[in-house]
Amino acid sequence: MHGARTGPPAMLTDLYQLTMAHAYREAGVADTEACFHLYFRGNPFDGGYTVACGLAQAIEYLQTMRFAAEDTAYLSTLTGNDGRPLFSSGFLEWLGSMRFDADVHAVPEGTVVFPGEPLLRITGPVTTCQLVETTLLNIINFQTLIATKAARVCRAAEGDPVLEFGLRRAQGPDGGLSAGRAAYIGGCAGTSNVLTGQRYGVPVGGTHAHSLVMLFDSEIEAFMAYAEAMPNNAVLLVDTYDTLEGVRNAVRAGERLRELGHDLAGIRIDSGDLAWLSIRAREILDASGFAATRIYASNELDEHTIESLKEQGAAIDVWGVGTKLVTAYDQPALGGVYKLSAVREPGGEWEPRVKVSEQAAKVTTPGLLGVRRFTDADGRFIGDMVYDELAPPDAECLMVDPADATRRTSYCGSDSYDDLLVPVFEEGDLVYDAPEIESSRARASEQIGRLDPSHVRLLNPHVYKVGMEIGLYERKTALILKARGSAAGR
């Protein structure tokens, strides 16, 4: 554990979650059990995979979810369009005493996931399940997005360390904090965000800004002052005035560091032609006896820029990635959703529910869904099957491509598989030992490594095979036809 950890407040929600919960209680259906799934509809960044992230924060939220007296007092001041209280006193009294009391199954952090697969399955009293929707989406959507972006950036860096430098451009304080954590799980070597380091145990690192150089009368004076003040953290920013002259001044500071028993750890280039400048800088450093000094680069980097710089032979050892990582610049939202899929009376049988839409992508899947991942003899992932746990797959494991029902794949009993969802809460009690962040980071790397290279390439990745178990597909189709027939008959 690193520092105090508290989940988001219960009031971090949309008003309509509260109005629906109020309606359920007023209608006498508050004890009805419901099943909801949290999933997304498309891999971000036009990529071939997604990295699940945020479960640890979701657990903290569910464990500490409370509506305090000041919360219900505020809610009592809200009025409807007739000027009367929006919520009844009985509902507010219940809200003040409620605790999370549902079951949760989830995909562990760092797991590679794909569109249409549930990252979380929540079952329990419908009021409870409804009230947690917004906050769970807020946590899981953002951290999954950033972890995926970080994984792509780190893959482009081909094993070079990537540092997350984006706090000053992040979407608010929590955006910066959550992004630093998710970026580390996605593969970054560390962050500049000190609070992320303190709270989550993420390694922190950094250099200095141009202002330090500009404060002194000359660049060499600034370098000498910083080197003597921070001899064990001497990474010098060399592009304030003339980059290559800055490298030469860094060498002079490095010579002074050696007199002090230290060495020049690195230089950083933050502007200009990073490929050309890094190559020239490497030549200067090597010729001056500083072959071990690393070259850091920053300046609006992302996976595509890094890939291009690699192709140009850039002599860059460490990549500082900021704005385009912590804001997921090219796709600032994952678009995950939280949908009802089944209901039952306490002690009764589950009844599937389906939402029908004019858009095929928005039609939901009924049942209590699980995900089975199949692997080949080498341990490589070859396909995922979404199925209904109320009617598990038979030995043939035949699955249907939801986008094209004529495309079907059979995974026979000889194929190895794992079920991705694991129990996290049972009736509100935590039954899951959340891994430390290092384990989640290692899992993400291991999982990506088990994908075929065609699925992880940045440009036009091959589509990973995800299908629906044939029985589930047929039940879903029947429910859709029934719903549309009922609508047509009205």
**Does the structure show a pLDDT above 80 at 4?**
no
Which residues touch 151 (CB under 8 Å, ≥6 apart)? 51, 186, 187, 444, 448
Q: What is the mean pLDDT of the chain?
A: 95
The band of 171, judged by pLDDT with boundaries at 50, 70 and 90, is: very high
The per-residue pLDDT for range 23-44, each reduced to its tens digit, is 999 999 999 999 999 999 999 9
Contact between 181 and 200 under an 8 Å Cβ cutoff? The reply is yes
**For residue 370, what are the β-bridge partners?**
387
Q: What DSSP line would sit under 236-293, residue for residue?
A: EE--SS-HHHHHHHHHHHHHHHHHTT----EEEE-SS-HHHHHHHHHHHHHHTT-TTP
**Does the structure show a pLDDT above 50 at 165?**
yes
The band of 454, judged by pLDDT with boundaries at 50, 70 and 90, is: very high
Contact between 247 and 281 under an 8 Å Cβ cutoff? The reply is yes
Question: Which of 236-245, 275-284, 471-480 bottoms out in mean pLDDT, i.e. has the lowest?
Answer: 471-480
> What per-residue confidence (pLDDT) applies to 490?
53
Question: Which of 53-57, 150-154, 289-293, 392-396 bottoms out in mean pLDDT, i.e. has the lowest?
Answer: 392-396
- Assign 154 to helix, strand or coil: helix
How many of the other CB atoms lie within 10 Å of CB of 89? 10
In terms of Cα–Cα distance, which of 181, 272, 260, 277 is closest to 225?
260
As given in the structure block, the two tokens for residue 56 are: 């640890």
Which residue type occupies 474?
A: E
H/E run at residue 407 = strand 404-410
**Does the structure show a pLDDT above 50 at 1?**
no
The per-residue pLDDT for range 372-424, each reduced to its tens digit, is 999 999 999 999 999 999 988 877 789 999 888 899 998 876 679 999 999 99
Question: Which of 50-59, 152-161, 280-289, 478-487 bottoms out in mean pLDDT, i.e. has the lowest?
Answer: 478-487
The band of 215, judged by pLDDT with boundaries at 50, 70 and 90, is: very high
Q: Which domains does the chain have, with CATH numbers?
A: 148-326 (3.20.20.70)
The band of 46, judged by pLDDT with boundaries at 50, 70 and 90, is: very high
Count of helices and strands (H, E) across the chain: 17, 21
Measured between alpha carbons, how far is 274 from 299 in angstroms, rounded to an integer?
A: 9
Q: What DSSP line would sit under 294-355, residue for residue?
A: EEEE-SS--HHHHHHHHHTT----EEEE-HHHHTTTT------EEEEEEEE-TTS--EE---
Which residue type occupies 485?
A: G
- Assign 206 to helix, strand or coil: coil
How many of the other CB atoms lie within 10 Å of CB of 160? 16
The CA distances from residue 372 to 1, 36, 385, 415, 416, in Å, are 32, 18, 5, 11, 10
Which residues touch 343 (CB under 8 Å, ≥6 apart)? 32, 33, 34, 35, 126, 350, 351, 353
Q: What percent of the chain has pLDDT over 70?
A: 97
Mean pLDDT confidence for 290-305: 97
